[in-house]
């Protein structure tokens, strides 16, 4: 007897293949080996799975729901990304289920499992924290496992694996350009501020270090600083470093850069006459200060829209070959906090 409660995810899990493979079998695609086809068809018979006509047209038994996972919605970048994603998805007839995982691996795993239990059609992971630090595959194995059930789209991070699609901005090139421009404008003591060692933060760090090297500046202790992503915490940390000798700062997000504004105010330093400041994300924070902040525009809206468009194309036609990774060029938005 056929069981309408059985879904394509169940077939993929039991057959140990991706949902795209199951869909290809159902559509008679020649991209599937005969051995895999036989295995999938055997599981379909065992489970009594029958895709309905509407589901076959889309390539899977869709719930028209997309899971969106962020480490924290309180972050300016994350909240902006979710807003763009939700708007684009709603315009295409999809509902969203939002979950906050935190930054710890256990939280990420449990929240991915929670969203999968809601029978979502795909998962969108927002933030480079989901790509790990690049030191171990164990940090991202749970994503590869989840991709056996539904397509996974990662914004601002890159993870390798079947059924995983990444969208990133060129953080390395963008940070290199900003740092290089500061140095060529006469700044020789440029300090790099970050709050993490995520995929994106590591790319930004690499761009900063590349600019130093190409301009003949030796990276010394105290030029790269790890700070907490809280404006007053950044201010207090910089004030506590009595030996800090900087004429410019480049931060991995605008919130951190605002902490430098507070530091400058406490020290009686003028921006940009005494120190220059470059932020990242080109958020509302960058125009909420005086002088307005030079910031790197990482094209959040474009990346989110491109992600949704690729995802819907894949859901509507699982046999469609879409790029596993897209990279978007950033723009340096020059404002009053720099004197290039």
Q: What is the pTM of this model?
A: 0.79
Same-domain check for residues 164 and 308:
yes
52: domain CATH number is: 1.10.260.40
pLDDT tens-digit series, residues 118-171? 889 999 999 999 998 766 788 999 999 999 889 999 999 999 999 999 999 999
- 164 with 196, same domain: the answer is no
Please tell me whether residues 200 and 291 are part of one structural domain: yes
> Does residue 37 lie in a domain region?
yes
Q: Is residue 155 part of a domain?
A: yes
Helical segments of 5-104, H only: 8-15, 19-26, 34-47, 53-58, 76-91
Which residues make Cβ contacts (< 8 Å) with residue 216, sequence separation at least 6?
Answer: none
Are 165 and 305 members of one domain? yes
Kindly give, in sequence order, each residue whose CB lies less than 8 Å from that of residue 121, ignoring residues fewer than 6 positions away.
60, 62, 63, 64, 65, 66, 94, 150, 315
Domains in the chain: how many in total? 3
**CA gap 14, 44 in Å, rounded:** 9
Q: What is the predicted pLDDT for the residue at 278?
A: 98
Whose tokens are 């990444």? That residue is 166
- Residues 292 and 200 reside in one and the same domain: yes
Query: What CATH number should be reported for the domain holding residue 210?
Result: 3.40.50.2300
pLDDT value of residue 182: 97
**Do 111 and 143 form a contact (C-beta atoms < 8 A)?**
no
The answer to whether residues 100 and 128 touch, using CB atoms and an 8 Å cutoff, is: no
Please list the ranges in the chain whose pLDDT falls under 70: 1-5, 27, 29, 51-63, 134-135
Note whether 200 and 159 are within 8 A (CB). no
Check whether residue 175 and residue 294 sit in a common domain. yes
Secondary structure (DSSP) of 85-128 = HHHHHHHTT-EEEEEE--SSHHHHHHHHHHHHHTT-SEEEEESG
Gap between the Cα atoms of 132 and 271, Å rounded: 35
245: containing domain: 171-298
Are residues 272 and 286 located together in one domain of the fold?
A: yes
Cβ 166 vs Cβ 154: under 8 Å: yes
Q: Which residues of 1-15 are buried (b: 16+ CB within 10 A; e: fewer)?
A: eeeeebbbbbbbbbb
Same-domain status, 227 and 287: yes
Instruction: Note whether 294 and 334 are within 8 A (CB).
Output: yes
């Amino acid at each position: 007897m056929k069981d309408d409660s059985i879904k394509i995810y169940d077939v993929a899990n039991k057959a140990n293949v991706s949902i795209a493979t199951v869909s290809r079998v159902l559509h008679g695609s020649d991209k599937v080996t005969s051995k895999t086809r036989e295995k999938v068809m055997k599981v379909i018979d065992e489970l009594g799975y029958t895709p309905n006509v509407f589901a076959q047209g889309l390539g899977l038994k869709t719930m028209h729901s997309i899971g969106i996972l962020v480490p924290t919605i309180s972050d300016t970048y994350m909240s902006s990304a979710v807003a763009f994603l939700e708007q684009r998805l709603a315009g295409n007839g999809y509902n969203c289920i939002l979950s906050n995982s935190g930054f710890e691996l256990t939280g990420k795993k449990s929240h991915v499992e929670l969203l999968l239990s809601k029978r979502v059609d795909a998962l969108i992971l927002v933030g480079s924290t989901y790509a790990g630090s690049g030191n171990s595959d164990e940090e991202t194995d749970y994503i590869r496992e989840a991709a056996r059930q539904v397509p996974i789209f990662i914004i601002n991070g890159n993870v390798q694996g079947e059924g995983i699609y990444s969208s990133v901005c060129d953080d390395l090139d963008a940070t290199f350009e900003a740092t290089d421009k500061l140095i060529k404008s006469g700044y020789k003591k440029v300090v790099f501020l970050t709050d993490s060692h995520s995929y994106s933060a590591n790319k930004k760090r690499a761009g900063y270090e590349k600019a130093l090297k190409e301009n003949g500046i030796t990276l010394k202790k105290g030029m790269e600083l790890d700070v907490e992503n809280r404006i007053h915490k950044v201010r207090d940390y910089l004030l506590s470093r009595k030996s800090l000798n900087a004429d410019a700062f480049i931060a991995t997000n605008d919130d951190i850069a605002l902490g430098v504004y507070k530091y400058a105010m406490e020290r009686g330093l003028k921006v940009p006459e005494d120190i220059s400041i470059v932020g990242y994300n080109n958020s509302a924070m960058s125009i909420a200060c005086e002088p307005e902040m030079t910031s790197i525009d990482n094209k959040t809206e474009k990346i989110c829209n491109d992600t949704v468009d690729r995802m819907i194309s894949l859901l509507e036609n699982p046999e469609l070959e879409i790029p596993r990774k897209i990279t978007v060029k950033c723009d340096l938005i020059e404002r009053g906090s720099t004197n290039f």
